[in-house]
Amino acid sequence: MNLDEVICFCQNVTSGMIKDAVDSGAATLEEVQEKTGAGTVCGSCIDNVRRLVEQFAAERASR
């Protein structure tokens, strides 16, 4: 996975920024939105953000 890939163009949030938010304790879409702003403008990236939050949270839980 490319952690430099921009997921939210409105807020310029990358996959890596979402991963960092999850790694620092964000466990839900809403918590990641608070930390990064991803998905808070037009909303077109919400599904992708949610998918990444779930993926990174699962990875964190399995460590």
Q: What is the pLDDT of residues 9-18, one digit of tens each?
A: 999 999 999 9
The pLDDT value given to residue 1? 85
Phi/psi at 12 (nearest 5 deg)? 55, 50
Predicted model pTM: 0.95
For 17-46, what is the mean pLDDT?
98
- Check residue 39 and report its DSSP letter: T
**Average pLDDT, whole number, for the chain?**
97
Name the band, by pLDDT with cuts 50, 70 and 90, for residue 19: very high
> What are the structural domains of the chain?
6-61 (1.10.10.1100)
